[in-house]
A and B are shown apart, each in its own frame.
Chain A
Amino acid sequence: MDSVVALWNSLPSFAHSGVFIVAVTLVLVVSVAFLTLWERKLIGWMQVRRGPNRVAIFGFLPGAGQPFADVVKLLIKEVLVPAKSSGFLFRIAPAITLIPAFATWAVMPIAPHFAIAEVDAGLLYVLSLTSVGVYGVILAGWASNSKYAFLGAMRSAAQIVAYEIAMGFALVGVLMVAGSLNLGTIVEKQSGLMWGWNWSWLFPLFMVYFISGVAETNRAPFDVAEGESEIVAGFHVEYSGIAFALFFLAEYANMILVAALTSVFFVGGWLSPLDGWISPDNFILQVPVLGLLLGNGLHWLVAKTFFFLSVFIWLRATFPRYRYDQIMRLGWKVLIPVTIVWIAVEGVMVYLKVGPWSAS
């Protein structure tokens, strides 16, 4: 054990980062696989069905093998490239959607005082990378040389540009609390009773951020970019096999990302809900297993992310798709004014030193 620790400490910092990058990526890919299963199961239960229940893993857990069966199926299918498409762009588009969804995790405060890269402008990094993801969708739509794909891409582009503004403004509110663009600091500034985390003081912004997040990931009820009933499958209508699977992977990776970011920005990230009730030197935290569970840590971030992911799925099972003009109205005329008003309210709160600003 000691020799392992010694070896680990002797490695250069880029090797540390490399190990963490590989670990985070693997965990994400596996999570995506099981998220698809969870989505189908949960929607099944909500609609009084059973969901996937055939493919078992070695005879246990019926349904749990479904994601792997899907992956194998998609891998052995043929990848078709339309004859008049723009070949290079057509092939590179799925990668462009996928890479930002994973790269953003570099600045995610995964555990107390730990992120792969402690970037001071972390929040801006997150915003800029998520906005790069839209290129994959636009390029896929354009390079396919198909009307349906093109319409889907145009819808997606307009939608993402609109909701990015609301998203950015919502994060300005988070900035005003934390006084820092560093995601780790944003979490630490929230420490205290769970009623005092950002979600309560910034409740409208929390709602706006989550709704914009759903819209940014092109999930129902904002999934007009792929609207099956109107434009078949939207931007990825010409994709098959594993190229389609990459878009699928990117969508779910983006969902996980938005859920994790919502928990970091508004519900305390890795902070335990008991934080503030029990002091850090309380005897309960010294109890072997219980102490770890009740204390701050990675598992709280995972639990909160899982909760928000389930809300994503719940929304999909509940709401019909928005009409396109309604999406634009919601983005520009409802969400953006709400954020601007609340930033002004926050300014007053800062001036009067109430809420999170009372200490300073």
Chain B
Amino acid sequence: MLVQFLFYAFAAVLLGSAFGVITSRNPVHSALYLVLAFFTSAGLWLLIEAEFLAIVLVLVYVGAVMVLFLFVVMMLDINAEEVRKGFTRYAWLGWLTVLAVAFEIVGVVVVRRMGVDVTRVPVPVAADHSNTADLGAVLYTRYVYPFELAAVLLLVAIVAAIVLTMRKRKGLKLQDINAQVATQARDRVRIIKMAAERRE
């Protein structure tokens, strides 16, 4: 009963925030609605006892990805009117996407009707059952190659991003912190012995 109530509450907030993402005029508000959407989906995952996935969703998407997203969106100077000009031009693409998604949802429902149980209700497990350990065991045994492949892919993406941004401009002045720290007094100050001079 409580779980059902929570499910509908989370689902309502999730739909509301997802709607907010596309309707709010301010891009920062959109990004914040997206954060709320991630949070509520994490809540929904908790309800089906996938606590590891729920926490990781918050950690990765809310804690890292969306922070950077907000970072960029806040710095951009987006003119909302300018963006809205393209609305009618790209509307057909939007409708196409909507139709495709609707088709998929209907497909899932129909497939379920045909006797294939794709949306099975998860069987509750004992309280001392460790979701995390299970996931680890599966990830590092059965799916170890796809997992490592994904890791390599991410590594390649990181290296590519660094290579794209690393260019040495000519005449660029950079501080060499090691040289700064290693500096001794005699590198900066020269003490000269000289005879006393009379002031004119």
- CB-nearest residue of chain A relative to B56? A124
Interface residues of A in 96-146 (CB under 8 A from B): 119-121, 124-125, 127-129, 131-132, 134-135, 138-139, 142
B108 contacts A by Cβ under 8 Å: no
- A314-332 vs B, CB cutoff 8 Å, 1 = contact: the mask equals 0000000000011001000
Which bracket fits the contact residues of A? 20 to 34
CA distance A138 to B69 in the complex (A): 12
User: Chain A: which residue is nearest B55 at the CB level?
Assistant: A124
Kindly identify, within residues 106 to 133 of chain B, every residue whose CB is under 8 Å from any CB belonging to chain A: 130-133
- Distance (whole angstroms) from the CB of A221 to the closest CB of chain B: 15
Interface of A, secondary structure class, is: helix
Residue pair A132, B62 in contact (C-beta under 8 Å): yes
Chain B residues contacting A153 (CB-CB under 8 Å) are: 74
Does A154 lie within 8 Å of B71, measured CB to CB? yes
Is A32 an interface residue, CB under 8 A from the partner? no
In the complex, the answer to whether B63 meets A128 with C-beta atoms within 8 Å is yes
The answer to whether B132 touches A181 (Cβ under 8 A) is yes
- B 47-86 contacts with A by CB, 8 A: 51-52, 55-56, 58-59, 62-64, 67-68, 70-71, 74-75
Question: With A120-B132, A121-B131, A142-B74 known to touch, is A131 a contact of B177 (CB < 8 Å)?
Answer: no
Map CB proximity to B onto A147-165 as digits: 1 under 8 Å, 0 otherwise.
Answer: 0001001100110110010
How far, in Å, is B137 (CB) from chain A's closest CB?
13
Given A120-B130, A120-B131, A157-B67, A131 contacting B59 (CB threshold 8 A): yes
CB distance from A334 to the nearest CB of B (A): 10
Known: A128-B59, A135-B35, A158-B71. A120 touches B64 (CB 8 A): no
- Assess whether B75 is in contact with A154, with CB atoms less than 8 Å apart: yes
> Which of A119, A131, A154, A160 has the most chain B CB atoms closer than 10 A to its own CB?
A131
Supplied contacts A128-B59, A134-B67, A138-B67, 13 more A-B pairs, CB within 8 Å:
A121-B52, A124-B59, A125-B55, A128-B55, A129-B58, A134-B63, A142-B70, A153-B74, A154-B74, A154-B75, A164-B64, A325-B175, A326-B177
